[in-house]
Structure 1
Amino acid sequence: MAPQRQARHPWGRPFAISALALATALAACAQKEDYKTPHFPFFGSYSQKQAAPVLLSNAEWWHGFQDPVLNQLVAQALAGNLSIAAARERVVQARAEARGVPDRAGLSASAAGRQQGEKGGDVTSSAEGDLGLSWMLDPYGERRARKAAAGARVEAADAETDAARLLVLYNLCNAYVELRYQQRLLALRQQEIASRRSTLSLAQSLFDTNSGTKLDVTRTQAELAQAQADLPLIEAAIRVQQNQIAVLTGRQPGTSGPEREPGKGMPQARMSADIGIPADLLRNRPDIRIAERLYYAAVNQVDVARAALYPRLSLSGAINLTSVRKGGSSRDYYFGPSVSLPEFPNSSTKAGVEATYSAARQAHIDWKATVLNAVMEVENALVEYDGSRRARAATERSLTLYRQAQTMTRDLVQSGGATVGDLIDADQSVTNASNTLAQTQRQQALDFIALNVRLGSGSAAGEAPAPATPPGN
């Protein structure tokens, strides 16, 4: 039997022309929601001005401490921290979701075969194959808006990775400064114990020669016991910071790492703070970039919701091939436009569009609040860093004078010009001044860390090149 050719056209030419005309008319009525990059009326610069702005996005500011151990720990944390690894996976997820937005054109195929017959009779074999093609027109920009929103969420995820990196840098550097501070306190207590023992020996010698009192001996013993009592607490604090550093670098607590090696003392902020101008702040702060990209995504969601109010227009077709053994074959095909009409606009669908408008306005408000908070944090960090820097200079001068007074008092006690009580007071003044200097050095380092993190500096440190964002066509 000769092959039979069949063709069926579910839509005639007048219907196709009418559908295209209807879609064109409705597209003219659909208005795209415009997006404008948000702008904030900054002042020309921060209140504490700098002669020239600097770019901070990749500044490795922790090198300013000139501490090789800290540099090594930062490199380990950027490579092995689990929070950063999780943030990178969220970027992978966002990119996959962006690729999941349907394409304009789609191609599908299927095939099937079967045999049929009775016992002792003829067997009939048949095969069937289908090839489908669809092409969705997008006159209202729904697909474009979905792609744009997905791309914005990818960029927000990228910025969230930068934010995670900054948080790790902040916590790691703070823990390292705290570790070296506790180790400095341990050394100061050991020096204090040696000084107290020297004073106790002098008090005991004077008492034995009837030149001193039992009270002087007892007071000196009490001060020595107090200094010794502080040692276990300081040693415990050192172990706590070592454990925290281990976790931040992706290691098990209690394991050996660079932080257990002798350092160069307390980290010193030897470089001036890189301040920059508001444009730098917008470029460097991950939270501002996150808020701006989420606002962009919310604006595009408005276009997605508006497009759902209008008909969907698509061109689709299919070819069906059927072959029956001993029975010939046939081919069916069809191609033409189709229009899917949405529900008639009612209060619920309109409310959905209004909700997306509100979400976009909220995202814009969130962006403005994020910018204001960022400026406040930077201004506060500048003030605090300047204050701790000046306090450290004054404390260094105070400690120098107290040490001079301690030496003179010790000489006077031996010559009979001062009492042991005066020497105990002088020792305590040196101890207090030494502790205060360690605290101000610690605070200056912490303020320096906070200032750079508030500026977003170092957010791209250790970042590997990322694959290109899928084009939003």
Structure 2
Amino acid sequence: MKLFILRFFCILPACMLAGCFQVGPVYKTPVVKTENIWLAESDSTITAKSIVDPRWWASSFKDPQLDHLIDLALGQNLSLLSAGLRVLQAQQQLAIAIGNQYPQQQQLSGSSSRQKANAITFNNYSLGFNVGWEADLWGRFRYQVESAAAGLDGSVAAYDGVLISLVAQVAQNYVLMRTYQQRLAVARENILLQEKSLQIAKAKLQAGEVSELDVDQAESLLHNTRASVPSYEASIQQLKNGMAILLGTTPAKFNDLIMNKEPIPRTSVTVAVGMPQDLIRRRPDVRLAERQLAAQSANIGFAITDLYPHLTIGGAIGTSSVKSSDLFTNDTKTWSLFGMFEWNIFNYGRLKSNVRLQDAVFQQLLVDYLNNILVAQGEVEDAIVGYVKSHEQLAIYEQAAAASQRAVRISSIQYQEGSIPFNTLITTLQSNLQQQDLLVASEGQAAVNLVSVYKALGGGWEIRKNQDPVNLLPVEMKKAMIERTEAWKGVLVE
């Protein structure tokens, strides 16, 4: 009998796995058609022959300050840390799903008692072990594993999406901050020019060469230009505050990080965008949508298994004795085997409705996946044309700004000589302020548009080099989690 019980527990797993088969759908990644070329591929600033550089911000802008800020954000941003912890949660959900494939009930029990009746004392000691296992006849638990595995992949894709968004936000905020600093510098340079013109107008008024109208016009223009300074200063500080949040620090601490003033990062002439087909592999939101689709396919299979009977088998062995020393040597042994099945035949209509529900969700996610790919292609096309046209616009504004500076120099001399009225000089000064500001704004916009191109392409997440996002969590955080519960030992690597 002992040999029979031992064999039973040895062959139980093999018996339960043998003959198991899945009754639901087998998931296959949908075949999606994409365009072969980008619309603006013929433009000299775009090349599809080269792949997207994972560290595009470093190769495109070559700005050490920006590189440093992005490195800080990758290590400190709280949203990215939260995304990494969601990956950790998904890993544990997968581990739970895998564990469900093994005996769901495993229990070691023991007891001791002492009774007295009619002046006689009785002792009783017992020890037993029982196990129960629901056979995965229809792939029920394997579908749970499949769904959890797809969910883990999806959480990694979501992490990559947060990483790309973070890098793009830091780069855009940095470019905008430098742009507003340059616009502020332009305003102050024009204030100096306008102050000089006001002094000339006052001198000519004292000499009786002009009326007070020239002085009033000069003062009006000067004060309007001075009024733009607080607006630029407010925008710069607000961008610094936003950058501080991205870096996971306070605005006061960030101000200490970036006190110096640098020019707007210049964009590279040619942008490597890769092929349109690469979007499906590269864009994290597309990968996430596909993984959600895979997880939902497994949910359909899980729902289908409810239509079939559930078989559970198990057994128990034990021993008892009136003396604890005889617990393992006496002949009082107990064992039992059992088998049972459940079949919800009276809930068949509700269960089939759940199957239809899960399939409808799958179909909706499939449509969402296809739509994501279309949206991704549209976003890239929008970003590319925005970048290309902003470069064309920048070249034109550079010519206009150079002409306006020459016009200011000439008109200032001619006004002093009395060759032109002050209205002409005022018009020239106004135009110069506008043209210089437009040039700076256009330069900043070209850089922002380049960031948008790389963000739309989904470039940047490759910098983690296939490392598990959980391994990128701060060591201090892992230590705190291990101190809170030792269950993390052996799971979290410090």
Common fold: TM-score over 0.5: yes
Corresponding position of 1:127: 125
Match of 2:33 in 1: 41
Return the alpha-carbon distance in structure 1 between the equivalents of residues 161 and 202 of structure 2.
Answer: 60
Determine the C-alpha separation between the residues in 1 that align with 2:470 and 2:138: 27
Change (3 A) 1:112 1:147: same
* SS of residue in 2 equivalent to 1:105: coil
RMSD: 2.7
TM-score with structure 2 length normalisation?
Answer: 0.85
CA distance in 2, matches of 1:355, 1:388: 48
Find the aligned partners of 1:127 and 1:331 in 2 and give their Cα distance. 12
Structure 1: how far apart are the matches of 2:316 and 2:63?
A: 69
Structure 2 equivalent of residue 112 of structure 1: 111
User: Which residue in 2 is equivalent to 1:268?
Assistant: 266
Change (3 A) 1:458 1:8: closer
Where does residue 188 of structure 1 map in the other structure? 186
Deviation (angstroms), 1:342: 3.2
Shift of 1:421: 2.4
Change (3 A) 1:318 1:154: same
- Partner AA of 1:189 in structure 2: A
Given the superposition, is the C-alpha separation of residues 348 and 445 from structure 1 closer, same or farther in structure 2, using an over 3 Å criterion?
Answer: same
1:385 pairs with one of 384, 387, 408? 387
* One-letter amino acid of the counterpart of residue 218, structure 2: T
| 8 Å CA contact 1:69, 1:263 repeated in 2 | no
What is the DSSP-based 3-state SS (H/G/I as helix, E as strand, rest coil) of the residue aligned with 2:461? Answer: coil
SS at match of 1:96: helix
Higher helix share: 2
**Which amino acid in 2 is paired with 1:321?**
T
- Aligned equivalents of 1:446 and 1:216: distance in 2? 41
1:274, distance to aligned residue in structure 2 (A): 2.2
In structure 1, C-alpha distance between the alignment counterparts of 2:27 and 2:279, rounded to whole Å: 22
Structure 2 equivalent of residue 320 of structure 1:
318
1:203-242 matched pairs, under 5 angstroms = 203-242=201-240
CA contact (8 A) 1:94 1:150 kept: yes
| Cα distance in 1, alignment partners of residues 100 and 50 from structure 2 | 43
Percent of pairs identical after alignment? 24
- 4+ aligned runs moved over 4 Å, structure 1: 5-9, 326-329
Which stretch has the larger CA shift, 411-420 or 440-449? 411-420
Counterpart code for 2:195: R
Determine if the alignment matches structure 1 residue 455 to structure 2 residue 457: yes
Unaligned runs of 5+ in 1: 10-19
8 Å Cα contact 2:394-2:443 kept in structure 1? yes
CA offset at residue 189 of structure 1?
Answer: 1.4
Residue of structure 1 aligned with 2:67, choices 60, 71, 79: 71
Deviation sequence 1:286-323 (CA, Å, 0-9, x none): 11011000000011111111111111234322102112
What pairs with 1:13-412 in structure 2 (closer than 5 Å)?
31-49=23-41, 52-56=48-52, 58-101=54-97, 102-106=99-103, 107-117=106-116, 121-257=119-255, 260-325=258-323, 330-335=332-337, 337-344=339-346, 346-412=348-414
CA contact (8 A) 2:147 2:298 kept: yes
Maintained 8 Å contact 1:136/1:314: yes
- Secondary structure of the 1:418 match is coil
- Quote the Cα distance in structure 2 between the aligned partners of 1:264 and 1:307: 64
**Matched-pair contact (CA < 8 Å) for 1:56–1:280:** no
The alpha carbon displacement at 1:257 in A equals: 4.3
Residue 282 of structure 1 aligns with an amino acid whose one-letter code is I
Give the SS at the match of 2:337.
strand
Give the superposition deviation at 1:57: 7.3
SS in 2 for 1:408: helix
Q: Distance in 2 between matches of 1:216 and 1:443?
A: 36
Note the residue ranges of structure 2 that are not aligned, 5 or more in a row.
6-14, 472-494
Q: Is the 8 A contact 1:269 1:445 kept in 2?
A: yes
CA distance in 1 between counterparts of 2:375 and 2:247 reads 29
Question: How high is the TM-score relative to the length of structure 1?
Answer: 0.88
Stretch of structure 1 that moved more, 329-338 or 67-76: 329-338
Identify which range, 261-270 or 83-92, moves more after superposition: 261-270
Relative contact order: is structure 1 or structure 2 higher (C-alpha 8 Å, sep ≥ 6)? Answer: 1
- The answer as to whether partners of 1:69 and 1:258 remain within 8 angstroms in 2 is no
Residue aligning to 1:16? none
Amino acid at match of 2:188: Q
How much has 1:464 moved relative to structure 2?
A: 7.6
Alignment partners' CA distance in 1, 2:2 and 2:198: 114
Residue correspondences, number = 450
1:416-431 map, 5 Å: 416-431=418-433
Partner Cα distance (1:202, 1:97) in 2: 77
My pick for the range that moved more, 232-241 or 342-351, is 342-351
| Partner of residue 481, structure 2 | none
Give per-residue Cα distances to partners, 1:324-367, cap 9 Å, x unaligned: 23996521112354433333463211111111111111111110
- The one-letter code of the counterpart of 1:115 is R
* Equivalent residues of 1:78, 1:462 under 8 A apart: no
- Secondary structure in 2 aligned to 1:263? coil
The Cα of 1:219 is off from its aligned counterpart by: 0.6
Deviations 1:67-123 (A, max 9, x none): 11111111111111111111111111111111111443323311121222259x343
For residue 163 of structure 1, report the CA deviation from its aligned partner.
1.1
Distance 1:409 1:53 in 2: 50
